[in-house]
Every structure is written in C-alpha cells, then in structure tokens.
Amino acid sequence: MATSLQSRVEAVAAQLIFGLPERARRLIAGRPIRLDGQELALDAQLLLRLQQISRVSMTAGTPELARQRILESGHLVSGKPIEPVRTQEVVIPAEHGPVPATLYVPDGLPSPSPLLVFFHGGGWVVGSRASHDNAARYFAKQAGVRVLSVEYRLAPEHPFPAATEDAVAAFDYAHTKAADLGVDPERIAVGGDSAGGNLAAVTAQVTTARGGAAPAFQLLLYPGVDASKRRRSREIFASGFFLTDADMTWFIDHYAPAGVDRTDPRLSPLLTEDFTGLPPAYVATAGFDPLRDEGEEYAAKLRAAGVPVTLSRQRDLIHGYVNFLGVGKRFREATSEAAGALRLGLRA
C-alpha cells in the first residue's frame, strides 16, 4: 500500500525520536509510570506519548475507517521488511469459499520444515496479513520456520463463528498439503496475537477434541480468551495503554453481537471444560494490558490439565508489542523470546 507524504514524514520523525539519548526520550515520554507493582518500559511509554500527540484512536468511526488507519499507521512502528524472506500467495479452500493466505519462507530453510499457522490480531474486526507482515517475517526468520499467515474473514461483515471456521480450515489445509508447502506435518504450530491468539487456542481445542490431526504447539501472544467476564486487569488498564476498555467493547460487539452466546468455547476458549491433551503452549501476556489476567488464567488451566506450558508476563509492556518491531529495543526483545519458544516447541 502506497503511503502518503505525511505518513512518511511521521515514520522518519518516529525513528528520530526513538534514536534520541535516553534522557531526551524520558523528557518526551514523561515521568515513569508505575502501576500494579510494575513500571512501564520507556519504549512503551514513549510510543504511547506519540499516540496521544497524534490523537489517533484505534476504533473511532466505522470498521472500514479503522482498517484503513491500521494500514496507514502500521509502517510507523513495524519497521522495514525483514529480509531475506520469500513470500508465496496461497489459497485455502473452505466451505464458504477461498481463504487467502501468505506463505513466508526464510532464505536457506530446508524442506520439510516446521510451520506456524499464524492468525493476526485486530479484535476480529481490523488487522490483516499486511498489518502483520513484519511479525510473520520475524517469526519465520528468527524461529527458523515457514509461516502461513491467514486472511480470515472479519466482522461485522462476517460475525462469529466465521473467523473460527477459517482458522480451523487453515490448519487442516496446512496439514493435508504439508508436502506441497514444504512442511513436516508432525511439526505444525498454531499461533497469533490478541484475537489471533484466541483463534489459535480455539483451533487447538477444536482439532484436539475431534481426534486426528492437531497442532504440535501453541504460540499464544496476549490472547483474548474469555468474552463473557471482566477481570481486574481490564479495570486497572481501562485507558491510556493502547488497547482500551472502549476498544474491547467495540470489537466484541462487532464480532459477537446481540444473540451470540459469549460463553461458547469457540469464542471464549477459557471456558472449555476439558483441557486434557491440548498441545504444549507458550503464553505471553503484557503487564499493562486489559487482557493480561485472562491470558494468565488460560495458562493456569493448561498447567492444571497437565499440558506443558510456559507463561511469560512481559511486565513492562503493552498490548500489541509484536507489531512494534521498528521502534526501540524492548518490543523486539519480547518478540525474540516468543520466537525462541516457537523454535524450541517445534524442534525435531
């Protein structure tokens, strides 16, 4: 997508600001923010300060406008495309019609290799393969895996359970066509951030429960896993930390409007009764995130069911950090840990 002159200027300005000495960055960001026994990372606080100055709201207006803003603003923080990574367009057949996807292959990766079936975040309403292009590239290169990034259907045009259906169809396609994709069918993971983490968790549950092919690993990055209940972290971090309480309400009202049972495990996988037999998982949460507590409850339920799980709270970060790879250092550090967990989880 072509970017406007204003957007290019903003991108350069962001790089210059994040390249300033620490003292100057602290002056711009303001005094350290401490809340719930945690201190916000300077990189995160500076990013939030720039967001406040720009007065950009993630969910203001219609879904169409929100999607356009995500595309236009993403390059400000995602960084230059990570190379060398080859891409190939893929079409996944599904009951309702084809689902587009992109296959990322890092240079020099042998075949067959492990695969991550990746679902982008965005509250099931915004976001796309394009908005998460560099996140997919990063996981491909740093974890040494192929990545299949899925363009699942978005709400409100396609409300629940459309995204879930596409996610399961994408995993099934990856497993069935593993040889064509250059993939080891026994080493396929599902993963995603935020709403994408929700879809990954649901896909793991659905495929495990039905028997047969199921993922070998789950990469769940600050996932939303319970749409039926408010938790303490949602109250504490209701505003001022990128994802807000108002944003969450806007997203879920579009994806699961009146009449949808929000306790359905395909929407709220935390409420599934039996976690036995689910694949091993890496669950990451962000300390300053409304979704923090439900993600950590999910990890606890996996552990209680005997599922190998690593829970990693990035105490000083905010929601969405895998999309901020182009600014500062702290966001890459956290994403690098997730890539390492993926590599380890899919080792032969």
156: CB partners within 8 A, 6+ apart = 63, 125, 254, 255, 257
Distance CA 91, CA 111 (A): 20
CB crowding 120-153: b at 16 or more within 10 Å, else e: bbbbbbbbbbbbbbbbbbbbbbbbbbbbbbbbbb
Integer-rounded Cα Rg, in Å, for the chain is: 19
CA-based nearest residue to 213, from 247, 172, 241: 172
158 tagged catalytic:
no
Helix H or strand E encompassing 77: helix 63-78
> Biggest alpha carbon distance in the chain?
56
- Residue of 73, 194, 233, 268 marked active site: 194
Phi, psi of 128 (to 5 degrees): -170, 180
Q: Are 67 and 128 in contact (CB under 8 A)?
A: yes
Of 193, 289, 293, 316, the active-site residue reads 289
111 a catalytic residue: no
Is 264 labeled as catalytic in the residue annotation? no
| Token output for 93 | 């057949």
| Residue 188 burial (CB count, 10 A) | 26
Residues forming the active site: 194, 289, 319
